[in-house]
Amino acid sequence: ASAAIKRYVELGNALNATALNAIGTRYVCLLNATELEAIDPPSLKLASLDPSACSQETKNILYEKAKKAFSDQHRLPAYYELILPYLGGAPAADLKALSKDNVNMNVSTFVTLRRESLMSLTPPEVQGLLGLNLPELAQWQYRAPVREWIQVQKQSELDKLHIGLTGGTQEGYINIVTPKFPAPSSAPLGTVAMAFHLLPALFLSFLMVSILS
């Protein structure tokens, strides 16, 4: 099937909705970048794809295709549901914009977002994305990728979410490093102590020699 799809694309045929539905998500995930570019964006309006199991590169390409396909509905409430299957490839800028639209994203969707995009989101932006589902984030705080996201946030900002997230960076602490000064002498401590101990005897010997001479 993969070879047939490749041949189909090589002949200059676009992957329209009929072709996409025929080959299914499984084989779409096997397409390389060049073949994915043959997908006609409007065809995604009629195709039924779930790229969640695809590689990150494939998700990224399909997201851009879907974004173009549904661009005429970007300001409509239905846009989120249309773009939802492809959000795993969304860049951070698009997620930040989406956080202002009261989409009430499920946490199960949130944890499958593009990693670098997720990590760049601030606590207020995550709150905007999850909306009513925000409390469920606490159940994920010890699991990846939420754990890693928490670790790069200020704890004071996490506290403002009021859902009990812990593990963020603390503020107001200063690491004090005690400087190490070199020893006043390179001689071993025992040798120095012995020298001080012998000083009176040496002085007495010097005095006796002076008197006798």
> For position 115, what pLDDT does the model report?
97
Q: What is the mean pLDDT of residues 60-86?
A: 94
Domain extents in the chain: 1-78, 90-171, 183-213
Q: Is 154 within 8 Å of 168 (Cβ atoms)?
A: yes
DSSP character string of 90-113: --HHHHHHHTTS-----HHHHTTS
**pTM for the model:** 0.76
Using an 8 Å Cβ cutoff, are 53 and 25 in contact? Answer: yes
Q: How far apart are CA 106 and CA 132, in angstroms?
A: 9
Identify the pLDDT of residue 13.
Answer: 78
pLDDT given at position 172: 64
Share the mean pLDDT of the chain. Answer: 84
Residue 15 contacts residue 22 (beta carbons within 8 Å): no
